Amino acid sequence: MGSQTMRAALFMVFVFAFVIIGGNAQESTTLVPAIFTFGDSAVDVGNNDYLPTIFKANYPPYGRDFKNHQATGRFCNGKLATDITADTLGFTTYPPAYLSPQASGKNLLIGANFASAASGYDEKAAYLNHAITLPQQLQYFKEYQGKLNKIAGSKKAATIIKGALYLLSAGSSDFVQNYYVNPFLNKLYTPDQYGDILVGAFTSFITGVYGLGARKIGVTSLPPLGCLPAARTLFGFHEPGCVARLNTDAQAFNKKINNAANTLQKKLPGLTVVIFDIYKPLFDVVKSPSNYGFAEARRGCCGTGIVETTSLLCNPKSIGTCANATQYVFWDSVHPSEAANQVLADALLVQGIGLIS
């Protein structure tokens, strides 16, 4: 089955499920009334453009394959997996970055994006990176609700909040940009112990957003950290292929987060949490790129594609940026290309059917 045919089939599955459950899409054609996104650079659509941080992607060649070839702050050549998910759910525009001027008036009716590159479960690391911590993202969501009540009225606002899809991406920067490169941390804690700390923050976040009305929450697992081009360069020590110990740590953390999600669902009435497994689909693509139409999985398209752990080395003067990003699994040394995000989004849609039922 071709990818376009598969996406059409997935959309029909969503529509069928939606009709069966008698959902209300706020007088629109979307399968959920709104999308709220929290987390890190994998889902940031431009909040960091308005922060005093080096972790920005609001300049070329970022966004070169996006609408109007515009660098919006997305760490990608084009769409993020969450953008593609919004497309599939029937949205014609994307929920705005909360710190942007676009986050006002009727634009807020379809949700908002609170994510911030270099943020994550580790609040201290996010703070040092001048990113929006997860607790602060929750505070912004609470502030957003006040604005929504004024725009939509309290009754409609409550319906939007309850029926919305909530997405969280976190953990990768905690490990790759913090734990593995911080001698103090990795001597003080084993990866297992550090993972427990992060799971505690995950539990606090889910409890907090639940308290603010969220009921349908999708959370991405860790990807195969050892397969990121930056991780291969920094931690591989000429090891062929992916860095095995990093992948082992990621798998161990993913088990913890799944267990924590199951505990929360038993504890909090009406809560549905789906942990999206992005480890396996991305690992499969990296191990057999040609099976998915890719030619390169070891380095990113932008710049050298090897050491761009921040956006600083992927910039308008980057030498050697590839001509066709669809051939590359990674756009820079950490973030997937739009083509790889499409593969991830297809996998997430299959896993996330329970979030609209």
Taking the C-alpha atoms of residue 339 and residue 314, their distance in angstroms, rounded to an integer, is 18
Neighbours of 194 (CB within 10 A): 23
Q: For residue 221, what are the CA distances in angstroms to 89, 244, 321?
A: 21, 17, 29
Neighbours of 70 (CB within 10 A): 13
E strands of the chain, at which residues?
A: 35-39, 111-113, 165-169, 216-220, 272-276
On the CB side of 67, CA atoms within 13 Å amount to: 9
The answer to whether 103 touches 44, Cβ cutoff 8 Å, is: no
At 184, list the tokens: 């103090």
Rounded to 10 degrees, what is the CA torsion of 265, 268, 272, 273? -60
Neighbours of 326 (CB within 10 A): 17
At 157, list the tokens: 């606002």
Q: For residue 3, what are the CA distances in angstroms to 9, 13, 90, 91, 339?
A: 10, 15, 18, 20, 11
Taking the C-alpha atoms of residue 226 and residue 334, their distance in angstroms, rounded to an integer, is 11
- The residue length of the chain stands at 357
| Active-site residue list | 41, 332, 335
Tokens 């921040």 -> residue: 310
The number of helices, as runs of H, and strands, as runs of E, in the chain is: 12, 5
Specify the 3-state DSSP secondary structure of 194.
helix
